[in-house]
Structure 1
Amino acid sequence: MSLLKVENVSKVYKSDRFLWGQQRITEAVKNVDLIIEEGTCLGLVGESGCGKSTLGKVILGLLKPNEGEVIFQGKNFCKSNGRRQYGLRRDLQVVFQDYSSSVNPKHNVEKIISEPIRNYLKLSPLEEKKKVLELLEIVGLNQNDIKKYPHQFSGGQLQRICIAKAIALKPKLIVLDEAISSLDVSVQAQILNLLLSLKEQFHLSYLFISHDIEAVSYIADRVAIMYLGRIVEEAENIKNLEELKHPYSKKLLASVLNPYPEEGKFLDSSFDEVSISKQISCGCNYIERCEKAMEICHQQVPTFNSVAEGHKIACHCEGI
């Protein structure tokens, strides 16, 4: 049994009508199917506004989907009652992008990290403090930091505190929502290595949400590419990113700068801003930016086609 199954999930936002104006409908997530096996990391990649974080919030139960189901540990998380959700949440944690907003500035480190422990575990004050000290050591912080406050830490250190809080209950799945994007490059590498180490140590599973396709390829076992609410490509064990086939995936790769500036790199000038001309899509979402668009792309939403073992894309150009 898979740890997490996302089945045909859609999330639509509707704006209020104002006088004679029309109601605006935004399809943030559209008929998404995903599976995460226990002990694996799924990397979800896409540019800002593609619906990655919205999907993450639906999985976490912070947003209700308009359609579809989120099955976590064999139970429908979205339709579970409060008591059952309380039990499931112990095994489902999150690390957000904004580490400063994820902690209470009036609480010290001990109180921040011990919050989930107090909610779920009945420990004495001495046992609770010992647990917090162990967690600080695991994430690479000094035990003397236990009485410090958030303003006394750097961004990377604060994110380590957030990670310590997320692993406090040894959950099954952690949603990492742009967890490294606001950090310096050198600190990003440290956090990625820490996450990989914790994954092995505690047999964790991750949903790693990011716009950084190279970071995703470093940490993830599987990669899913998302564009305007839809998954357009999924691939297992991608070691060479050049193996990605979808036109949008290739655009994402083209946007990655060369680590050796003196060699130079040609940047695709056609990588423009997202433009949505229709409120509800009836064909391929990517048609307005695709150089290979055909007549069928205007009329029919592409379905997944297998291009190799464990590798499938949603594109008419590859399926015909």
Structure 2
Amino acid sequence: MSLLELRAIKKTYLLGNSIFGKRKTVEAVKSVTLTLESGVCLGIVGESGSGKSTLGKIILGLEKPDQGEVLFQGKNLHSFKAKELKELRRNLQVVFQDCYSAVNPRLTIGEIIAEPLRNYERLTSSEEQKQVQGLLELVGLNPEDMYRYPSQFSGGQLQRINIARAIALKPKLIILDEAVSALDALVQVQILNLLAQLKEEFQLSYLFISHDLQAVNYIADRLAVMCKGEVVEWLDDMGQLERLEHPVSKKLLSSVLPQYPGFL
């Protein structure tokens, strides 16, 4: 059984104000079907407006599809009852692009990372402190950082903190929605290396959503290319990027790999 399965997902939005005329219909996602196995990183890449982020929101339960099913461990996510939904939140975490808005500036780093632990675990103060400090060390920060505030950290450090919070409950799947795109090139590589190490250590599964094919290639095991709400190409082997044929795939490839395939 797949960890995550999408079956013919469709999502349409109505844009504009009906008072001033006919509203425009936009098909953000058109009958997308794909699967993700445990321990695998699936990269979803596409240009702006391709529907990849909408798909991520549907998987997270932030948007409901007009048609189709999202199966998480064989169960339809959008039919979960309250108790099942709470357990789902434990096993499905997310790291967003904007590392600054993802944290509460009034809380200490320790309180931010401890939030999921407090929601799901019954820990003593000393146990919580030990776990938070251990998580900080896992993501390459100092245990003493738990007493500091978000304003005292760089963007790259904040994203490490968001990753620490995401792995706190050892989830089965983490959705990384443009998680490195706001960072400079060197920090991107550092964060991608960290994500790869954590994936290996904890046997995590990732859904890595990005417009950057180079970043996706760095970490993903498999690839889905989206264009205008559809998956237009699929690769089971990231070593075969040269086989990409769709015009959007080639455009994404040429934009980051001017000397392709020499960088591989």
TM bracket (short chain) = over 0.9
Q: CA deviation at 1:178?
A: 0.1
Deviations along 1:152-211, one digit per CA (max 9) or x if unpaired, are 000000000000000000000000000000001000000000000000000000000001
2:79 match: secondary structure: coil
Residue 16 of structure 1 and its aligned partner are, at CA, apart by 5.4
Separation in 2 of the partners of 1:89 and 1:145?
A: 26
Structure-1 residue corresponding to 2:205: 205
Equivalent in the alignment of 2:223: 223
Per-residue deviation, 1:18:
3.1
Per the normalisation by structure 1, the TM-score is 0.79
Q: Deviations over 1:76-97 (max 9, x none)?
A: 1111112211111100000000
Q: Which amino acid aligns with 1:206?
A: Y
Go from structure 1 to structure 2 and tell me whether the alpha carbon gap of 1:200 and 1:78 turns closer, same or farther (over 3 Å shift): same
CA deviations on 1:78-121 (whole Å, 9 max, x unpaired) are: 11112211111100000000000000000000100000000011
- Bigger mean CA deviation after superposition, 250-259 or 5-14: 250-259
Report the CA distance between 1:255 and its aligned residue: 1.8
Match for residue 299 of structure 1? none
Corresponding residue for residue 132 of structure 2: 132
* 1:117 counterpart = 2:88: no
Aligned to 2:142: 142
Query: How many equivalent residue pairs?
Result: 260
Residues in 2 aligned to 1:168 and 1:8: alpha-carbon distance in whole angstroms: 32
Aligned to 2:187: 187
Please state whether the residue corresponding to 2:107 is helix, strand or coil: coil
Structure 1 unaligned residues grouped into runs of 5+:
261-320
Change (3 A) 1:110 1:259: farther
Q: Distance in 2 between matches of 1:219 and 1:19?
A: 47
Q: Secondary structure, in 3 states, of the residue corresponding to 2:239?
A: coil
Identity %: 60
Partner of 1:153: 153
Tell me, which stretches of 5 or more residues in structure 2 are unaligned?
A: none
Report the equivalent of 2:97. 97
Q: Residue 31 of structure 1 aligns with which residue?
A: 31
Structure 2 partner of 1:271: none
Pick which of 148-157 and 251-260 moved more. Answer: 251-260
Give 2:197's aligned amino acid. Answer: S
2:172 maps to: 172
More helix by share: 2
CA RMSD of aligned residues (A): 1.3
Q: Relative CO higher for 1 or 2, CA cutoff 8 Å, sep ≥ 6?
A: 2
Listed as ranges, the matches of 1:1-320 within 5 Å are: 1-15=1-15, 17-256=17-256, 258=258
- Structure 1 distance, partners of 2:98, 2:139, is 18
1:236 aligned partner, one-letter code: D
Q: Following TM superposition, by how much is the alpha carbon of 1:12 offset from its aligned partner in structure 2, in angstroms?
A: 0.8
> Which residue identity does 1:67 align to in structure 2?
Q
Distance 1:36 1:6 in 2: 9
Structure 1, residues 23-81: CA drift from partner, whole Å, max 9, x if none?
A: 11111111001100000000000011111111001000011111111000111111111
Change (3 A) 1:130 1:90: same
2:84 counterpart SS class: helix
